[in-house]
Structure 1
Amino acid sequence: MGIIIDKLSKNYGNQKALDAVSFSIKNGEVVGLLGPNGAGKSTLMKSITGAILPDSGEIKIDEFSVLNQPIETKKRIGFLPENNPLYFEMYVREYLKFVADIRNEKKERIEEVIQKVGLTPESHKKIGQLSKGYKQRVGLAQAILSNPEILILDEPTNGLDPNQILEIREVIREIGKSKTVILSTHIMQEVEALCSRVILLNKGKIVSDSPIEEFKGQYKSLEDAFRQLTN
């Protein structure tokens, strides 16, 4: 079934972060979640993962309720937050074993994900010794370790150099062949390269939700669409 979101709202004091947001994502879609800073993107992603609770509305993952059946929904989701929280004093394999134990995953899976995200050359090091690009790979590795049906990535290439961006983008493209992916990014080329659909948020509301080709076809460029729809 994928993801179904119905009239989701969240306030922080007087600020309305999400305002009756509704949409659905089918299994196997790669969706770009766009919007200016403060549009509600991170609040939406954290609500889907169950990290924060909305004030009203419903979120379902494969017909399981995020609010009422959180364990079942979290089993189906892998999440890479924007700030990629990691334990810098742990070795790469040590950290992934820690995540595997939490997720009840077999140890053999650790070597699979290390290879999949291209961590093999640096897998003997402490996380704190890694470049930012390799730290992002560790974050991706923990997100896909349990082989989740749904992968939620919040600014996965933020702060990386052009080579690192291309490398991480290729990893995401490969993962997206078999997973449902929600990708939040400010990089329009990333959306064009990876996504089949765009959901654009502004001030807590959806201002556009359409296939990438249709979205591009209505405007001179994705940047032009972003500017016109969020001004």
Structure 2
Amino acid sequence: MEPLSQQPAQPAAPPPGPVGRTGGEPPEVTGKETGKEAGQEAAKGAGEVLIRAEGLSRLYGPVRALDGVSFELRRGEVLGLLGPNGAGKTTTLEILSGNLAPTTGGVWIDGVDLLERPLEAKARLGYLPDQPPLYRELTVDEFLHFCARLHRVPRGRRREAVAQAKERCGLAGVGRRLIGNLSKGYRQRVGIAQAIVHNPRVVILDEPTVGLDPLQMREIRQLIRELAAEHTVLLSTHILPEVQAVCSRVQIIHRGRLVVDEDIEGLARRMRSGSLILGLRRDPGREALLAVPGVEGAEPLGEGPAGWRWRLHFDPERDPAEELARRAVEQGWGLRELTPERLSLEEVFVELTQQEGGQEGAGPVPEGAGEGRA
């Protein structure tokens, strides 16, 4: 047997690349399409689907943490994923980002199958987990250059890519500071910068404002709105005002199931309570108010310095406000107030999740199963 030291050296295996590519360096992400890809990109419309999830389920033993979730996210949308703790939000994001395999179902990122071609699919998205993956002993510049290399941004474009990410995230003045010496708000900005340094088409943010003070939350929300101009954004949160502030579409997930998928206008319709407050100088009486088309109930709130006040209940499909105003003028009621009552987003959220609370088959994720704060 030939001595080991005299055996011919074997060539090193090339680093892995995506399907259809063999040998050499892994593909670099330029952030800009060229040639044939540029023509394809120009032909795509504003309504193209950038994330498609079909029948996503995740089991931990007998516990179904995610149960048949399907949806699409289109170009230019900011989608807010809402749900109580343990509902399945983080599980969903970990599957969409390729960090967790679904038990059943599939995910496509910009048309690329995440399960079949993971490297190619992940190159098209940026991900900020609930705990930002930061190296506190590095400066902001060092860390972002490191992330640009991980995302395979070409060497000649890294400096520009890092500068653009810093500018967009408000980090231009702190590039040489250690990450460990930054405030939590700035560390969160660094986490978002690493998610966009390679200019992905899709950005996924898990609880991007958790633990921040009100001023920091406002700054991060403004940053998300700015990102939406060039990226499709999916964020999870349990902070309800955040959804109204930055999102164009809302999904509510509860006990592993998707219970609401609507745009903000649709959510606003859900927030209509079917009641209004009517203030008059002269009391017309209950019968006169019930005679107005659409009014189904009249509740007196009493007489005050400004006159009489009533709470009127009506069919949301037959809003009586215009007719009430007309009759108040014609019959001399002296209209002083006509204010629609609205449910808060919190009330809508509680109502929907309570309606779904008794469904079988879904359940909370057991501790240690990987759900985290979902």
Is the TM value for this pair above 0.5?
Answer: yes
Kindly report structure 1 stretches of 4+ aligned residues shifted beyond 6 Å. Answer: none
Partner of residue 58, structure 2: 10
- 2:149 alignment partner AA: D
**TM-superposed deviation, 1:128:** 0.5
For the pair 1:186 / 2:238, whether they are aligned, the reply is: yes
Partner deviation per Cα, 1:134-188 (whole Å, 9 max, x = no partner)? 0000001000101000010111011111111111111110001121111111111
Query: 199, 202, 221: which one pairs with 2:344?
Result: 221
Query: 109, 133, 137: which one pairs with 2:189?
Result: 137
For the pair 1:119 / 2:171, whether they are aligned, the reply is: yes
Of structures 1 and 2, the one scoring higher in RCO (CA 8 A, sep 6+) is 1
Q: Secondary structure at the match of 1:23?
A: strand
Partner of residue 80, structure 1: 128
**TM-superposed deviation, 1:18:** 0.7
For the pair 1:201 / 2:263, whether they are aligned, the reply is: no
Partner of residue 43, structure 1: 91
- 2:84 alignment partner AA: P
Partner of residue 99, structure 1: 147
- 2:60 alignment partner AA: Y
Larger proportion of helix: 1
- Greater Rg by CA: 2
Which structure 1 segments of 5+ residues have no match?
none
**TM-superposed deviation, 1:94:** 0.5
Query: 99, 102, 118: which one pairs with 1:70?
Result: 118
- 1:172 alignment partner AA: I
- 2:227 alignment partner AA: I
Whole-Å separation in 2 of the counterparts to 1:178 and 1:93:
23
For the pair 1:58 / 2:116, whether they are aligned, the reply is: no
Report sequence identity in percent: 47
**TM-superposed deviation, 1:85:** 2.0
Matched residue count: 231
For the pair 1:230 / 2:335, whether they are aligned, the reply is: no
Partner deviation per Cα, 1:36-82 (whole Å, 9 max, x = no partner)? 11111111111011001000111111221110010111011101111
Partner of residue 357, structure 2: none
Whole-Å separation in 2 of the counterparts to 1:67 and 1:135:
31
Partner of residue 199, structure 2: 147
Whole-Å separation in 1 of the counterparts to 2:63 and 2:181:
39
Q: Secondary structure at the match of 2:107?
A: strand
Whole-Å separation in 1 of the counterparts to 2:268 and 2:94:
28
Whole-Å separation in 1 of the counterparts to 2:151 and 2:191:
15
